[in-house]
């Protein structure tokens, strides 16, 4: 993959060192709190995480944490939103000169699956699922800024490239939904449940290609390269 989405723990957004260049002190502190909170969440779960533990590990006071996130639920929500932002970053710069629309779709699929099927994101997804009934607002916010937003971004890509791809009119939204359903189908469910290990990059690449070509053929697209 030419554009690589870094693992969640390595992104400047939530996983960088406290001295990541170019960040304002307040922004850096907030990012460090989110980074620490994510690590604690993944280690002990939502019920085991405390504001006190996050503050201690981040080297700040409880007041500093509460000033930014009024409750533990709000802090959890901020961690989830940061993870959603990382997934949406797949679409930044996806339109590049010299890259065919088909190859661009394949790359989007690779990057999305590589991120969402990572061990860390899967673990966070399990925690979110276990809290969804107790925190329905958090689940709704996650759906809007995660899956729903990604669907909208992929639909926009397909609408923009409809002519180049040879897609029929007014099918971009259903085409995007079909692609996401195929990319995250049986394998994703098996990985989420812990029945299978996250796939390697070679499997992800093959799967992304198969899904894109299957959907394009389904809409009568014959020239796939």
For residue 223, being part of any structural domain is answered with: no
User: d(Cα 55, Cα 62) in Å, to the nearest integer?
Assistant: 5
The answer as to whether 224 is a domain residue is: no
Q: What is the pLDDT of residues 137-157, one digit of tens each?
A: 999 999 999 999 999 999 999
Query: What digits encode the pLDDT tens for the residues 169-199?
Result: 899 999 999 999 999 999 999 999 999 999 9
Averaged pLDDT for residues 48-59: 95
Q: Is the predicted pLDDT of residue 24 greater than 70, yes or no?
A: no
The closest of 147, 144, 145, 167 to 157, measured between CA atoms, is 167
Provide the Cα torsion 123, 128, 133, 134; round to 10°.
110
The pLDDT tens digits of the residues spanning 1-15 come to: 545 544 333 333 333
Answer whether residue 130 is part of any domain: yes
Would you state the pLDDT for residue 69?
93
Domain count, the chain: 1
Q: What is the pLDDT of residues 155-170, one digit of tens each?
A: 999 999 999 998 998 9
User: What pLDDT is stored for residue 6 in this prediction?
Assistant: 43
- Average pLDDT for the chain: 86
Within-domain flag for 1: no
Helix, strand or coil, per DSSP, at residue 135 = coil
Q: What is the pLDDT of residue 176?
A: 97
Instruction: Examine residue 90 and state whether it is found in any structural domain, yes or no.
Output: yes
pLDDT-derived band at 80 (thresholds 50, 70, 90) equals: very high
| Residues 127, 13: Cα–Cα separation, whole Å | 21
* Tens of pLDDT, residues 94-104: 666 678 999 99
Q: Which domain holds residue 210?
A: 8-218
Query: What pLDDT, on a 0 to 100 scale, did the predictor assign at position 107?
Result: 94
Look at residue 225 and tell me if it is in a domain.
no
Largest CA distance in the chain: 61
**Nearest Cα residue to 126 out of 194, 25, 72:** 194
**Domain at 68, CATH number:** 1.10.357.10
CB atoms within 10 A of CB 17: 11
- Tell me the C-alpha distance between 141 and 22, whole Å: 29
- pLDDT the model gives residue 128: 93
Residues 76, 130: Cα–Cα separation, whole Å: 13
Residue 3 domain-assigned (yes or no): no
**Mean pLDDT across 54-58:** 95
Confidence at residue 200, expressed as pLDDT on a 0 to 100 scale:
95
The C-alpha atoms of residue 93 and residue 82 are separated, in whole angstroms, by 19
């Amino acid at each position: 993959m030419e554009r690589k989405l870094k693992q969640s723990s390595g992104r400047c957004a939530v996983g960088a060192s406290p001295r990541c260049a170019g960040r304002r002190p307040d922004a850096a502190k907030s990012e460090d709190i989110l980074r620490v909170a994510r690590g604690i969440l993944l280690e002990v779960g939502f019920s085991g995480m405390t504001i006190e533990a996050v503050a201690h590990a981040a080297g700040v006071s409880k007041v500093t944490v509460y000033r930014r996130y009024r409750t533990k639920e709000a802090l959890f929500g901020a961690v989830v939103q940061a993870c959603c932002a990382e997934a949406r970053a797949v679409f930044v710069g996806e339109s590049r000169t010299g890259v065919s629309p088909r190859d661009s779709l394949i790359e989007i699929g690779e990057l999305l699956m590589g991120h969402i099927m990572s061990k860390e994101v899967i673990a966070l997804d399990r925690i979110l699922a276990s809290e969804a009934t107790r925190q329905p607002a958090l689940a709704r916010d996650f759906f809007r800024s995660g899956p729903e937003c990604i669907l909208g971004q992929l639909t926009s890509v397909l609408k923009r490239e409809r002519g180049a791809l040879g897609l029929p009119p007014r099918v971009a939204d259903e085409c995007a939904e079909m692609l996401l359903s195929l990319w995250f189908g049986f394998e994703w469910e098996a990985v989420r449940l812990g029945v299978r290990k996250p796939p390697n990059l070679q499997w992800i690449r093959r799967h992304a290609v198969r899904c894109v070509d299957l959907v394009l053929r389904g809409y009568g697209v014959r020239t796939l390269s």
